[in-house]
Amino acid sequence: MKNILVIGGGSWGTCLSKLLVENKNNVFLWEYNEKTRNVIREKRENPVFLPNIKLPNELNVVDSYCETLKNEKIDVILLATPTQFLRPILKNLKECLSYKVIIVNVAKGIEIKSKKRISEVIDEELSGKDYSYVLLAGPTHAEEVALKLPSAILSVSLDEKAALEIQHLFSNSYFRVYTGTDLVGAELSGAVKNCLAIAAGISDGLGFGDNSKAALITRGINEILEIGKYYHADPKTFMGLSGLGDIIVTCTSKHSRNRYVGEELGKGRKIDDIISSMKMVSEGAETIKALYAIIKENNIQAPIMSALYEVIYENRPVNELVSLFMNRNLRSEFI
């Protein structure tokens, strides 16, 4: 049995808390919103983010993650906090973390201001602290994992021992965990696929068919590979669970909030209106801001991602995303 602190009571944080309790661990869940915390504690359900899923009585809902770190010997900290809100959490953690832990991150994104990956943000904020970092990423919607539908995911870390430990901690009969070491590639693919899912959703919102979306996704994967070259990531990673696997589920699923954002954009709604009406965060709508800057500053060939940013934030007509895709100069596929 491990003592695990989960920071973030959204759908994924709640779902993984449930799974870890069922895997016979001692789990402490902290959620930013006090009202939501109290509902989870009293009702044993998270009706806002994971409705109709009964949570174990053994799940400990806490009001302070710092107090929990001080009073309990925590083995693993699971960060289930959206990328753009992560720094304040990390600053607080640095003040109250006094022993070695494994930090597992399940968020996917690139910080807008710094254009840094999440592992880089954590390294910066927790400088001097003793920890191992593991990314848990793959084609896994919380709504399905909570129902114990078979799923597979990747535990990736530069510390192979930590990756193996997390593999065994999370694995069970319906949740299969593989290990990997290409942290850069896994973080990039997890971040950029959310942007691609918005583009796929735009295709849906415009009423185009399967051919259109399949072509858009495939060319989008090519752009992800180009971005990966800039970061010297292993191209095989983009064909694995944290790459192609996550792209498939995020670009096609009814559960995908990023695909939903794109669909609503395709129907003519504006981004501020869409985001304000959502209960959960669209990581892709934020990541595209950092990604666009990276593409422009480094002259990376990524026309779909560039046009996506301009559609969302520069009032470019939404149908021009498809026009750009279809009307570019004819060329060979792989040059």
The CATH code of the domain that includes 323 is 1.10.1040.10
Distance between the two ends of the chain, CA-based, in angstroms?
Answer: 52
Strands in 60-61's sheet, in edge-to-edge order, are 60-61, 26-30, 3-7, 76-79, 101-105, 131-137, 151-156, 175-180
The pLDDT score that the predictor gives to residue 62 is 97
Q: Provide the mean pLDDT of the chain.
A: 94
Query: Which domain-ending residue is among 181, 204, 222?
Result: 181
Instruction: Tell me how far CA of residue 290 lies from CA of 189, 199, 274, in angstroms.
Output: 14, 16, 20
Q: Do 45 and 165 fall within a single domain?
A: yes
The pLDDT score that the predictor gives to residue 334 is 76
Decide: 73 and 4 in contact? Cβ < 8 Å. no
Give residue-wise pLDDT tens across range 2-34.
999 999 999 999 999 999 999 999 999 999 999
252: pLDDT confidence band, cut at 50, 70 and 90?
Answer: very high
Give residue 24's domain range. Answer: 3-181
The pLDDT score that the predictor gives to residue 259 is 95
Q: Do 171 and 194 fall within a single domain?
A: no
**Residues annotated as catalytic (active site), given as ranges:** 193
| In-domain check, residue 139 | yes
| In-domain check, residue 334 | no
Q: Rounded to whole angstroms, how far apart are CA atoms 196 and 246?
A: 11
CB neighbours of residue 115 within 10 Å? 14
**Whole-prediction pTM value?**
0.92
CATH number at residue 151: 3.40.50.720
Q: Do 229 and 316 fall within a single domain?
A: yes
Q: Rounded to whole angstroms, how far apart are CA atoms 223 and 304?
A: 8
Residues 68-101, buried b or exposed e (16+ Cβ, 10 A)? bbeeeebbbbbbbbbbbebbebbebbeeebeeeb
| In-domain check, residue 16 | yes
Q: Do 124 and 201 fall within a single domain?
A: no
| In-domain check, residue 299 | yes
Number of domains comprising the chain: 2
Res. 335: pLDDT tops 70: no
Q: Do 153 and 202 fall within a single domain?
A: no
Residues in the chain: 335
Q: Do 143 and 25 fall within a single domain?
A: yes
| In-domain check, residue 335 | no
Q: Do 133 and 254 fall within a single domain?
A: no
| In-domain check, residue 287 | yes
The pLDDT score that the predictor gives to residue 325 is 67
Res. 165: pLDDT tops 90: yes
Average of per-residue pLDDT across 230-237: 94
At 265 the three-state DSSP class reads helix
Q: Do 150 and 193 fall within a single domain?
A: no
Q: Rounded to whole angstroms, how far apart are CA atoms 104 and 80?
A: 9
Average of per-residue pLDDT across 115-140: 96
